[in-house]
Chains A and B, each alone.
Chain A
Amino acid sequence: MIVESAVIKFAGDSGDGMQLVGTLFTENVALMGNAIATFPDFPSEIRAPQGTVAGVSGFQIHFGSSGVHSPGDAPDVLVAMNPAALKANIHNLKANCMILVDSDSFGKRDIDKAGFESNPLEDDSLSGYKVVAAPITSLTKAAVSELGLDNKSADRCKNMFTLGMVLWLFNEPIEYTIQYFDQKFKKKPLIGEANKKALNAGYNYALTTEIIKSAYQVLPAKNTPGTYRNMTGNQSAAWGFMAAAEKAAKPLFLGSYPITPATDIMQELAKHKWSGARVFQAEDEIAGICSAIGAAFAGNIAVTTTSGPGMALKTEAIGLAIMTELPIVIVDVQRGGPSTGLPTKTEQSDLMQAVWGRNGESPIVVLSASRPSDCFDWAYEAVRIAVEHMTPVILLTESYLGNGAEPWKIKRLAEMPAITPRTLNQADSLWKPYSRDLDKLARSWVVPGTAGMQHRIGGLEKDECTGCVSHNPLNHEKMVHIRKEKIQRIANYIPLQKYKGKDANDLLVVCWGGQFGIVLGAVMELQEENKNIAFTNFNYINPLPKNTEEIFAKFKRIIVFELNTGQFANYLRAVLPQFKYKQYNKIQGLPFTVKELKTKFNQILSES
């Protein structure tokens, strides 16, 4: 059966290796040229209680030739490694979808633990679905028996047996995964062998038994021609920073502290010593940003990465970077909050913290990425703005983007925009530490080691001209305005806002950040139905693009969609109060679904 696209969800115990299976499957379909979007969803415990709904780890992937803007609402195929995984997902299945289960794990105890009254495989409750029940655990054990592995190691291969079945189901080759095992287990050939055997066994089992009646064939995507690779948002952000540093011809410095879901950016950069990237794992979040500020003072492309609670800790230091007008990039991979909140779940609720969360009048540039692959571009743009305008820049991404993956059309450094740091290398007798460019109001970057240019900067207010400490009241007021104006003028150096839809329309849908793909998908479906609806997504939050007001004025109604209680809507109310904003919010640690968005759009469109 040939299909345009399909959604598959792998679900099992945390520890069953569902994230790995999902990632390997993604890598595979990406290599086959499919468009993809993924949504890893897992508990914050490393090994939550086995067999319980709370312990279920899931990985959803949507892949196909068109219409892949999001990881998809409900799966076409659910892989449930145990009753709990079935229970956790049963409320979100398409009618007649396929459910693949490990029948070995449906013992009485497992069924009780998951909270089922009776065995769902036997009680007809799944009659509306195509259930494929295979004794995966025992078949896996049999497949690897000759290797003499201990019970636990043999058991752990069952995820690969499952992957083998799914690869067959979607008519995908297994060679890439075999190659992966060869690489990954170079030093543990026995484990590599066991995984290969399990994978092959699963593939052959699906092929030879007629247990799965119909295989799917998903067509490759109609993407723009080019060379692609599969990337998560965190990886692409890391690569964006490496590219920016190379373009700016300055060393990259990352000072960070591990925090979910941002840690992968640090871990990715730590691998690439060849690039000269300097990665400093600090003792805490404050040390992370402070080391970056020190590195910026000393002339490096300085970055710190974190998530919400870590962002809160960095607050005071961000103020220092604003006051001293040093270029650093602060990445906040948002997660559910407040406090520790939902460490592994996505949310967009740090916007207020980013824009306003500091003492004093402390304007800062805020950007947001909107797809896993464009985290690359926004990391790059954040560096460009920081070093060309001498300001800290906050880049907001989300758990949803950082962990999600999609194909990235590879760029070459030569194609990317220039990055020209405001470095001053030669002594200049007229220069003062806070002398400014008349257009940008940015100061120059004079780093220690520059002969004859010794100077002092600090967190105390300074005289507008000399840069010496000043507590003069009128000078402070002037400096506050200069710092604000400097950020506002960045709007002259960024692209205009675009929107998708007809001019002068009835309804403008506004979103920002990582919900872009899902909202776009929903809007496009309605546009195809000729509904009067347009869509715009913001990546430049502060300052907003110059034509924002002009766009808003064209529409009768504006509605802002975001995963919080209305932070961007309130921001717009403060910045552009002449418009009325409706809002639609979700605060469940989950992304929007296309279905709920379409329902909401239709409801608003029907209101006159």
Chain B
Amino acid sequence: METLQCLYKPKEYASDQEVKWCPGCGDYAIINAVQRAFSELNLKKEDTAIISGIGCSSRFPYYMDTFGFHTIHGRPAVIASGVKLANPELSVWIVSGDGDSLAIGGNHFIHLVRRNINVNLLLFNNEIYGLTKGQHSPTTKQGVHTKSAPFGTIENPFNVGELVLGSQGQFYARVPDTDVKLMASVFIEAEKHKGTSVVEILQNCVIFNDDTHASITAKENKANTQLILEHGKPMLFGENNNKGLRLNGLDLQVVTIGENGITEQDILIHDAHSKSTVLHNMLIQMKLPDFPVAMGVIRNVESSVYDEEFHRQITEGKKEGKYKTVDDLFFSGNTFEVN
């Protein structure tokens, strides 16, 4: 196992602070997965910065023995952008919730993704405001009764993946908080991807929105409700791994191998690296009960990375520049002498 050569065991990434999430909170599984991923990635604690906004999720940096910054509501994406641009050597992780990143920070979220700055954004999506105690968020399903919508919310929720793709996103993954192994492997892929990686984590808030993802994540039926994607592998799911997806005209269709003459050859192969967003979008949009929910890395495409371009211009500017110091600049051009 590679872990033998790791700098730190997963638990060694934990800080000395007491973790104060509610008992049963999905965040515990997420932090375990992050520690496991950091360990496998061999991340040096001092070269890692975790930037969060406001909300339950955003207490995360306090619990990790890395550099951390618990910032203000909705702004971790830009603070992290500043960190990465100032020091591109750092591994930069943003931890944020659906309220933080998609409501108050919606503008920064789309611009971070559009620019494609090389950071990882872990979006804890529990479809509710937890820390402010139970108001609906931009991902709350229509009709759900919340403290601020006692008659049911009338808002249309965002689909995070669609928003990422609509913002020119090149890495999007979705994972349930119930699968530490899958989360860790996806976090590793996110870190390896050059550019902005958005990982949406279907996270459970035990207090204000318990079981909102249960229909997808419940152990007893997850084989039928989750399609775990892997690049280059057929899109198979089900108890016996005999159900799959194929294209029927312009639509996706769930089929069963062995029925109606369907063979494994008919099943779509997942291509996370495809530049086209068409199939990725279709996978993102799949929902119960007609389809399983797509999990894993849905899109992972190399593209121009903002921080690399940003520093390339500066490096070239330094090489070709007329000046070496500010003194050269100050005395250049139109100057005049007074005697």
A interface list, Cβ under 8 A from B:
27, 30-33, 176, 220-221, 223-230, 239, 242-243, 246, 251, 253, 255, 272-278, 280, 282-284, 286-287, 290-300, 302, 316-317, 319-320, 324, 407, 410-413, 447-460, 468-469
Contact = CB atoms under 8 A, between A and B. Distances in A.
Contacts of B207: none
Interface string B298-318: 000000000000100110111
B71 A283 contact: no
B85 A274 contact: no
Nearest to A447: B87
A286 B72 CA distance: 11
Contact of A221 (B46, B310, B338): B338
A221 B320 CA distance: 37
Nearest to B44: A451
Interface in B78-132: 78-87, 89-90, 107-108, 111
B322 interface: yes
A221 B330 CA distance: 21
Interface stretch (B58-66, B148-156, B171-179, B247-255): B58-66
21 contacts: A239-B326, A255-B82, A273-B314, A273-B318, A274-B323, A286-B75, A293-B79, A294-B80, A294-B81, A294-B83, A294-B85, A295-B82, A297-B49, A297-B69, A299-B87, A412-B327, A449-B90, A454-B46, A454-B65, A457-B68, A460-B70
Nearest to B316: A273
B207 to A, nearest CB: 20
Contacts of A455: 67-68
B23 interface: no
A188 to B, nearest CB: 21
A239 B337 CA distance: 20
A176 B336 CA distance: 12
**Chain B's interface: helix, strand, loop or mixed, by majority?**
mixed
B261 interface: no
B260 interface: no
Given A287-B81, A317-B72, 14 more contacts: A229-B333, A272-B317, A274-B317, A290-B75, A295-B82, A295-B85, A296-B86, A298-B86, A302-B86, A320-B72, A407-B336, A410-B335, A456-B15, A456-B67
Contacts of B90: 298, 448-449
Contact of B326 (A27, A246, A290, A451): A246
Contacts of B48: 448
Contacts of B108: 283, 286-287, 290
B82 A291 contact: yes
**Chain A's interface: helix, strand, loop or mixed, by majority?**
mixed
Interface residues of B, number: 61
Contacts of B265: none
A229 B65 contact: no
Contacts of A460: 70
A362 to B, nearest CB: 13
Most buried by B among A224, A246, A302, A457: A457
Given A239-B326, A273-B318, A280 B49 contact: no
Nearest to A243: B326
B78 A287 contact: yes
B51 interface: yes
Nearest to A286: B75
Contacts of A451: 44, 46
Nearest to B335: A229
Contact of A297 (B83, B322, B323): B83
Contacts of A292: 82
B321 interface: yes
Interface of B: 15, 17, 44-49, 51, 54, 61-62, 64-72, 75, 78-87, 89-90, 107-108, 111, 310, 313-314, 316-318, 320-327, 329-331, 333-339
The 4 A-B pairs at the shortest CB distance, nearest first, are namely A274-B321, A273-B317, A294-B82, A458-B70
Given A290-B79, A293-B82, A294-B78, A33 B326 contact: no
Contact of B85 (A32, A239, A291): A291
B136 to A, nearest CB: 23
Contacts of B66: 454
Most buried by B among A295, A302, A413: A295
A456 B69 contact: yes
B19 to A, nearest CB: 12
B74 to A, nearest CB: 8
A225 B67 CA distance: 51
Contacts of B45: 454
Given A282-B78, A298-B82, A458 B71 contact: yes
A297 B327 CA distance: 28
Contacts of B317: 272-274, 276
Contacts of B61: 456, 458
Most buried by A among B314, B321, B322: B314
A274 B66 CA distance: 33
A239 B78 contact: no
Nearest to A255: B82
B48 to A, nearest CB: 8
B329 A272 contact: yes
B130 to A, nearest CB: 17
A282 B111 CA distance: 9
A300 B65 CA distance: 23
A277 B82 CA distance: 13
B79 A291 contact: yes
Nearest to A30: B336
A459 B316 contact: no
A293 B75 CA distance: 11
Contacts of B70: 456-460
Contacts of B75: 286-287, 290, 317
A452 B46 contact: yes
Nearest to B45: A454
Most buried by A among B64, B318, B327: B327
Contacts of A287: 75, 78, 81, 107-108, 111
B330 A274 contact: no
A32 B337 CA distance: 9
A449 B334 contact: no
A256 to B, nearest CB: 12
Contacts of A299: 86-87
A275 B86 CA distance: 15
Given A290-B75, A458-B61, A253 B86 contact: yes
A278 to B, nearest CB: 6
A278 B336 contact: no
